C-alpha cells in the first residue's frame, strides 16, 4: 500500500492533508531520512530531531512565499524531501547531487544559503524588513539551534530585531546539543526554562498516565502550558523585545501546529522555544547523537561499526596526540576549540587536561581573542579550528593576536578540499588571508611526521603561527614521537632533476614526486609560505628553465603569489606556473574526484606542465636521477 510521503511533491500537497494524517507522514519521513542518510552519509541526528517541526512549518506557512531560514542547515533534510527533492536524496553530498545544506541555487524553498552557524536571524530579519518596506504581507521564520545561539552574531540580530517591529518569528530548536556536548551559561539558562531532557521525560511520563482519562489529559495539557508561561515570564528574549512562547514539545504536532498558527497571525517579533530530541526515532542516534551527527554510510539495522584501522594516521589524530604530548611537556599549554572537540581530535586532551581545555561554543571570534588574552599573561594557547571557521574571526586574528604579536598557534584542520560539505567548508582561503598579516607565519606540512614536527616548531615561536593540514590520512610515513622541531623557514630539495623545479606546499609534495619521476624534474618541499625560503626560490629560479608552484588553496594571493612576489623583488624573470584552486567555489563531492577535477592529481599536474612546456615530452639521452627519499 502506497504511503503518504511519495505523493508529497510540494508543501501545497502537504497542506491538503488532514491534521491526523500528519502523524503518519512524519513517521514515513523519519524512516525515509534514516534510509537515505545511511546509504549516502550525511547529517543524521539533527535531521531526525526536526521532522515534526518541519512538517508543521510547511503545513502552517505558505512556503515558498513565506520564508523559512534554516540555521547551519544540518537539520534541513526533511525540508528538502518535502520540497520536491525526495527522489534526489540518493545523490546527497555527491558530485553533481544535492547539497548537504540549503542552497538558493537548488530550490526556491531554500530562502537562504547556509553552511556556517548563527546567521539565520540576521538573514531572516533582512527579509522581514524587505517585506515590510515593499508592503508585502510575508511571514519570515528563522529556525536556530541552541548550539548556534551561543554565537555573538545571533544576539546582534536579536538586539536589532527586537526594536524593528517587523513580522519575524524566531524558533529556538532546543535539543540540548550542538555537534559536541553543550557548553556555557546559555545552556544552563535554557535548562531553567524547562528545556532539555527533564522536561521531555516528565512530559512523556505524565502523558502516558493521563491518556487513559482523556478529559484529564486535556486539562493537564492546558495547565502545563499555563505553568510554562508563568515560569518563563521576563525571559532574556522578552527583554530583547520579543513576545516569548514556550517551551513546547517539538515532537507533538497537536501542540506545534496551534502555536504556529497563532504566531503566524501575530504582529511584531515573536520567539518560539521548542524542545526536541536529537536522533529522535532511531534508538542508536538517541543514545549517541554525537556519533550520529554526521556519519558515513552504515546499515541502520546494525548501526555504526568501528572502521578498519587505516593504513595511515589522520592529520587530526596526529594533532591530537601532539597536543597531549606537548601539554605533558609544557604546563603553560592551553587548548581552545569553538565547539569542535571531536572534529579537531581533542577528546583525549579534554579528558586528560580538563582544566586546560576550553570549549567556547560556536564562537570563533571569542575563541581567538580569548587566546590573545591568555597569551598576554604568559600561557601558550593552541587554537584548534577548521580553516573555514577561522574566516569568521579574521578581525580578531589581525587586531587582537597579530597586531600585538602574541604567541598563539592556530592548528588549521580541513585545509584545502573537504569533499561532501562543499563550498561553505572548503579550506581554500587561509593561505591568502593569513600570509598578508604582519607578524603571522604560515606553515604547510607535507605528511603526518612533518605535521608533528612543524607543530612543535610553531609552538616554540614567540609570535602567531598557523599550521594548515588537510582532512583525512597522510601517506603512511612513520611518525617520530619526540617533540623535535624543524629548522625555521627552510625548504628541502627532495629530488634533484632538470629543466623545471616543482615547489610543493603541503601534501601535494607526493603528487609532485610522481610527476618528477616521470619527467625527471626537481622537487622542493617548501613547507613555509611565510617566511618563504627566498634563498631556495632564488637557487631554483637560477638553475631551472621554469618553476611550478603547487598548493591546495586559492591561487589568488596564495603560495604561488608569494613566489612571484619574491622573484619580482629579486628582479628574476624565470617563468612560473601556479597550480592550485581557481577563482571559483569548490562544490561538494568525493575528495578524490574533486582533486582530479581541479587538476591537482599527478596526471592533472603532468598535463598542465606539458601544456605549458611541450618539450618536456621529448625523451632525453641521459639517465634519470634516482628518487631521493624525503627526510
Alpha helices in 444-533 (DSSP H): 448-459, 509-519
| Dist CA 238 CA 294 (whole Å) | 34
Q: What's 63's DSSP letter?
A: T
| Dist CA 418 CA 472 (whole Å) | 9
Active-site residue (options: 52, 224, 342, 364): 364
| Dist CA 152 CA 366 (whole Å) | 9
Active-site residue (options: 280, 392, 435, 471): 392
β-pair partners for 168: 140
For 183, the grid coordinates are: 557548553
Q: Does residue 392 carry a catalytic annotation? A: yes
| 503 contacts 529 by C-beta, under 8 angstroms | no
| Dist CA 311 CA 472 (whole Å) | 11
Nearest residue to 158 via CA among 284, 33, 242, 43: 242
The order of strands in the sheet holding 522-525 is 492-495, 522-525, 500-505, 546-554, 576-581
432, 443, 613 from 581: Cα distances, Å: 12, 18, 21
| 44 contacts 292 by C-beta, under 8 angstroms | yes
Q: φ and ψ at 75, to 5 degrees?
A: -110, 20
Q: Which helix (H) or strand (E) is 349 found in, with range? A: helix 347-352
80, 241, 475 from 85: Cα distances, Å: 6, 37, 38
Q: What's 15's DSSP letter?
A: T
Active-site residue (options: 67, 139, 203, 278): 278
Residue 399 CA to its chain's centroid (Å):
24
The order of strands in the sheet holding 380-386 is 357-359, 333-337, 380-386, 409-413, 465-468, 441-443, 528-530
| 181 contacts 362 by C-beta, under 8 angstroms | no
| Dist CA 37 CA 7 (whole Å) | 21
Q: Does residue 364 carry a catalytic annotation? A: yes
End-to-end alpha-carbon separation of the chain, Å?
65
The position carrying cell 598576554 is 376
| 548 contacts 501 by C-beta, under 8 angstroms | yes
| 451 contacts 458 by C-beta, under 8 angstroms | no
| 519 contacts 613 by C-beta, under 8 angstroms | no
Torsion of CA 239, 242, 246, 247, to 10 degrees: -60
Rg of the chain, C-alpha, whole Å? 27
Which are the contacts of 623, defined by CB distance < 8 A and separation ≥ 6? none
> Which residues carry out catalysis?
278, 364, 392
Amino acid at each position: 500500500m502506497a504511503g503518504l510521503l511519495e505523493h508529497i511533491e510540494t508543501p501545497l500537497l502537504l497542506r491538503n492533508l488532514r491534521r491526523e494524517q500528519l502523524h503518519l507522514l512524519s513517521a514515513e519521513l523519519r524512516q525515509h531520512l534514516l534510509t537515505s542518510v545511511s546509504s549516502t552519509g550525511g547529517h543524521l541526528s539533527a535531521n531526525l530531531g526536526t521532522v515534526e517541526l518541519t512538517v508543521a512549518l510547511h503545513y502552517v506557512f505558505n512556503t515558498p512565499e513565506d520564508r523559512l531560514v534554516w540555521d547551519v542547515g544540518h537539520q534541513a533534510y526533511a525540508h528538502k524531501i518535502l520540497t520536491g527533492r525526495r527522489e534526489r536524496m540518493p545523490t546527497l553530498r555527491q558530485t553533481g547531487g544535492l547539497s548537504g545544506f540549503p542552497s538558493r541555487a537548488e530550490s526556491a524553498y531554500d530562502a537562504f544559503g547556509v553552511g556556517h552557524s548563527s546567521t539565520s536571524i540576521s538573514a531572516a530579519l533582512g527579509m522581514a524588513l524587505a517585506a515590510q518596506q515593499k508592503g508585502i504581507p510575508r511571514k519570515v521564520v528563522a529556525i536556530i539551534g541552541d548550539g548556534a545561539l551561543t554565537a555573538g552574531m545571533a544576539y546582534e540580530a536579536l538586539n536589532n530585531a527586537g526594536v524593528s517591529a517587523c513580522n519575524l518569528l524566531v524558533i529556538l530548536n532546543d535539543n540540548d546539543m550542538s555537534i559536541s556536548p553543550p557548553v556555557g551559561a546559555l545552556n544552563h539558562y535554557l535548562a531553567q526554562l524547562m528545556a532539555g531532557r527533564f522536561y521531555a521525560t516528565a512530559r512523556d511520563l505524565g502523558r502516558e498516565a493521563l491518556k487513559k482519562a482523556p478529559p484529564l489529559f486535556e486539562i493537564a495539557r492546558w495547565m502545563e502550558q499555563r505553568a510554562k508561561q508563568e515560569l518563563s515570564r521576563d525571559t532574556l528574549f522578552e527583554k530583547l523585545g520579543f513576545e516569548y512562547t514556550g517551551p513546547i514539545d517539538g515532537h507533538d504536532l497537536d501542540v506545534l501546529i496551534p502555536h504556529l498558527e497563532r504566531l503566524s497571525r501575530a504582529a511584531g517579533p515573536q520567539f518560539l522555544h521548542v524542545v526536541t530530541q536529537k536522533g529522535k526515532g532511531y534508538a542508536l542516534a538517541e543514545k549517541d547523537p554525537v556519533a550520529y551527527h554526521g556519519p558515513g554510510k552504515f546499515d541502520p539495522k546494525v548501526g555504526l561499526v568501528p572502521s578498519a584501522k587505516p593504513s595511515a594516521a589522520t592529520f587530526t589524530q596526529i594533532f591530537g596526540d601532539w597536543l597531549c604530548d606537548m601539554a605533558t611537556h609544557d604546563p603553560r599549554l592551553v587548548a581552545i576549540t569553538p565547539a569542535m572537540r571531536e572534529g579537531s581530535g581533542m577528546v583525549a586532551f579534554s579528558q586528560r587536561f580538563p582544566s586546560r581545555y576550553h570549549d567556547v561554543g560556536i564562537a570563533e571570534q571569542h575563541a581567538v581573542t580569548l587566546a590573545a588574552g591568555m597569551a598576554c599573561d604568559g600561557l601558550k594557547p593552541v587554537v584548534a579550528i577548521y580553516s573555514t571557521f577561522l574566516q569568521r574571526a579574521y578581525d580578531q586574528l589581525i587586531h587582537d593576536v597579530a597586531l600585538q604579536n602574541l604567541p598563539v598557534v592556530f592548528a588549521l584542520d580541513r585545509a584545502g578540499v573537504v569533499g561532501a560539505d562543499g563550498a561553505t567548508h572548503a579550506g581554500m582561503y587561509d593561505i591568502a588571508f593569513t600570509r598578508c598579516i604582519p607578524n603571522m607565519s604560515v606553515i604547510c606540512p607535507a605528511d603526518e611526521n612533518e605535521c608533528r614536527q612543524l607543530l612543535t616548531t610553531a609552538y616554540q615561536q614567540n609570535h602567531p603561527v598557523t599550521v594548515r593540514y588537510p582532512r583525512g590520512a597522510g601517506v603512511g610515513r612513520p611518525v617520530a614521537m619526540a617533540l623535535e622541531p624543524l629548522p625555521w623557514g627552510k625548504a628541502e630539495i627532495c629530488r634533484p632533476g632538470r629543466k623545471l623545479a616543482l615547489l610543493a606546499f603541503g601534501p601535494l609534495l607526493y603528487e609532485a614526486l610522481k610527476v618528477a619521476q616521470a619527467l625527471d624534474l626537481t622537487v622542493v618541499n617548501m613547507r613555509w609560505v611565510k617566511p618563504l625560503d627566498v634563498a631556495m626560490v632564488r637557487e631554483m629560479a637560477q638553475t631551472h628553465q621554469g618553476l611550478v608552484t603547487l598548493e591546495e588553496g586559492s591561487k589568488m594571493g596564495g603560495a604561488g603569489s608569494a613566489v612571484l612576489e619574491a622573484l619580482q623583488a629579486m628582479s628574476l624573470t624565470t617563468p612560473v606556473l601556479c597550480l592550485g584552486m581557481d577563482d571559483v567555489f569548490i562544490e561538494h563531492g568525493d575528495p578524490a574526484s574533486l582533486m582530479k577535477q581541479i587538476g591537482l592529481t599527478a596526471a592533472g599536474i603532468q598535463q598542465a606542465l606539458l601544456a605549458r612546456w611541450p618539450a618536456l615530452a621529448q625523451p632525453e639521452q641521459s639517465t634519470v636521477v634516482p628518487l631521493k627519499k624525503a627526510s
